[in-house]
Homo-oligomer: A and B are copies of this chain.
Amino acid sequence: MRTRVTDMFGIELPIFAFSHCRDVVAAVSRAGGMGVLGALAYTPEELEVELAWIDEHVGGRPYGVDVVMPASYAGSDLGLDSPADLVARLQGMITPEHRAFVEDLLAKHNVPTLTGSDPGKVLLGWTDATARPQVEVALKHPIALLANALGPPPADVVELAHSKGVKVAALASTPRHAIKQVEVGVDVIVAQGTEAGGHTGEISTMVLIPQVVDAVDVPVLAAGGIGGGRQMAAGMALGADGVWTGSIWLTVEEADTPEMAKKRILEATSRDTVRSRSWTGKPARLLKNEWTDAWESADSPGTLPMPLQYMLVSPALRRIGNSDAAELATFPAGQIIGAMNQVKTARQVVFEMVEEYIEAMERLDRITAD
């Protein structure tokens, strides 16, 4: 297969795989696609370890790193460059009412407190100040792509990446976003429909992709609802140069997704997700359960703006993850989880996607042959 992105990155397949797991990233790149590591949860030191591992295991194939530098967030106007100072100030902005709501919810579900948790990690990667050290670490490695979620990356970060020969991608959920991102120098637009897991807009992939393709001259990757070869073919038919996938890697053999979460995803239907602000303060598609329901209920205090909501709930979600309260364990997941019913290797997922893509193309050719 040959598109502008296979040429740009020297890859065989225009399949991009977002994952927080280094094993998945390396496996997809080795299979001919491009793995992209989500750096969000890693300290700079941890990220260094992950990327060094990928360098050793990716067999010289290109891979990418994804950071979150939101264009807007609470505290962005405080002018505090030190992450520690920023965290302290932001902690003070979380209301006692919100803290009580979370504690009550956990108490109702008998979630025990956790010893040895690391409060310093609650803000990693959600602000410009805390994401920059991640970018610096990433650019010391032979990465091919730096991707940014949540708005256009800062112009100096784009320049820095370009100066090292690294291409920059950004996620867009409207054509207007995409135009702004290209204006700051972004090389590849990931146009992401509302059905996607994690932070996502309102417009569906089917409607969004042609609008973004028509709005910008750079290559576009179709994201949101892409799990198999028919969806890949659909994304390409809509005008994309490749596909960006996320949720489907949560259940592969290589993924270090908690067993409880893997089980929930394998059993879920496509109606078991919801777009909710209860994780980070910005709308993100999550597994729908008693956690997301609670934040919509009559006694919910409402969610806080980014990054306060994540600072508030991230210790709670860690406690839930270590408890038996599976009914509260939510995480980013796209509607495609309804189609994920068995564990496969990452390599198998890539090959089956290509096989189904070819079958879809053959069927399309037959339709117009007559």
Contact = CB atoms under 8 A, between A and B. Distances in A.
A206 B224 contact: yes
Interface stretch (A72-80, A104-112, A362-370): A362-370
Interface stretch (A114-122, A123-131, A226-234, A343-351): A226-234
A141 interface: no
Interface stretch (A32-40, A156-164, A179-187, A333-341): A333-341
Nearest to A174: B271
B210 A204 contact: no
Contact of A207 (B202, B207, B339): B339
Nearest to A228: B210
Copy number of this protein in the oligomer? 2
27 contacts: A1-B368, A2-B367, A2-B369, A3-B367, A174-B270, A194-B194, A195-B203, A202-B335, A203-B271, A203-B338, A204-B206, A205-B206, A206-B225, A207-B231, A207-B335, A207-B339, A208-B270, A210-B228, A210-B230, A210-B339, A211-B270, A211-B338, A211-B339, A234-B235, A237-B237, A237-B361, A239-B360
A238 interface: yes
A367 B204 contact: no
Majority secondary structure of chain A interface residues (helix, strand, loop or mixed) = helix
A193 interface: yes
A355 to B, nearest CB: 13
Interface in A263-297: 269-271
A236 interface: yes
Given A195-B206, A206-B224, 4 more contacts: A2-B370, A203-B335, A203-B338, A206-B225
Contacts of A338: 203, 207, 211
Contacts of A194: 194, 204
Contacts of A368: 1, 358, 361
Contacts of A206: 193, 195, 204-206, 224-226, 231, 234-235
Contacts of A370: 1-2
Nearest to A202: B271
Interface in A165-224: 174, 193-195, 201-211, 224
Question: Which 6 pairs, one residue from A and one from B, show the smallest C-beta to C-beta distance?
Answer: A206-B225, A234-B234, A195-B204, A233-B237, A2-B370, A207-B225
